[in-house]
Amino acid sequence: MANQYLTMKELKEALPDIPENSLKRYLQEHAEYINYKKEHNRYKIQASEIEKIKFIRKLYSDGLKKEEVTAKLEEAGIPVIITVEDEEESTSTSLVNVNSELTDMKKLVSFLVQQNEQSRLSQNKIREQNKQLIHEVQELKLTIEDLRMAHEQGYEKESEKVTSLYEKLMATQRSVEEVAGALEAEKSKSIWQKIFGK
């Protein structure tokens, strides 16, 4: 019975509660979920599709619209039917469950969006750290300049402070250079390198 095809008349007899016009509408509007052939304006529906058609009927009876019914069929994991041309037969129908592949693609896109957002936040953080370090360097330069001027006016005790501050300035400058280098390295990485770590 699984491979047996029913005419529209036989299908109507199997589903007496569903008008023929509704059956044809279900076949047309949800063709990707129902296994049938159309030969010379005559429908031949695989007998195994009766339960699916009953399910579609119930969804419409519950007041759902076409798009909502399609979404429910997808949620139920009903495989999408793809008809391909075959050299031996005029057409052959194969069932392909593309729903899981679509779900995987959605997950991949979501992952890529998250990675992009994390990268953007990381770059913003590095920029802020860079600004802070530059500000600190400028303040240290001003302090050193003040101390040098005081030193020139005869305050030799300040010499050690100048040396200490100068060393701090150099350390801070190295930090700025490291952060700038990290920012450049982060910018130059492509999104694929970030995802796959290559």
| Locus of tokens 């007899």 | 13
Return d(Cα 162, Cα 196) in angstroms, integer: 48
Are 194 and 134 a contacting pair, CB within 8 Å?
Answer: no
Closest CA to 47 of 4, 97, 104: 4
Question: What pLDDT, on the 0 to 100 scale, is given for residue 92?
Answer: 43
Instruction: With a cut of 80, say whether residue 189 has pLDDT above it.
Output: no
Are 151 and 162 a contacting pair, CB within 8 Å?
Answer: yes
- The residue with greater pLDDT, 57 or 88, is 57
Spatial neighbors of 169 by CB under 8 A, at least 6 apart, are: 137, 140, 141, 144
Return d(Cα 75, Cα 77) in angstroms, integer: 5
Over 75-135, what HEC string results? Answer: HCCCCEEEEECCCCCCCEEEEECHHHHHHHHHHHHHHHHHHHHHHHHHHHHHHHHHHHHHH
Instruction: With a cut of 80, say whether residue 184 has pLDDT above it.
Output: no
- The residue with greater pLDDT, 193 or 16, is 16
Q: How confident is the model at residue 42 (pLDDT cuts 50, 70, 90)?
A: confident
**3-state DSSP call for residue 23?**
helix
Instruction: With a cut of 70, say whether residue 134 has pLDDT above it.
Output: yes
Q: How confident is the model at residue 84 (pLDDT cuts 50, 70, 90)?
A: low
Amino acid at position 109, single letter? V
- The residue with greater pLDDT, 181 or 8, is 8
Q: How confident is the model at residue 93 (pLDDT cuts 50, 70, 90)?
A: very low
Instruction: With a cut of 50, say whether residue 58 has pLDDT above it.
Output: yes
CA 133: distance to chain centroid?
36
**3-state DSSP call for residue 42?**
strand
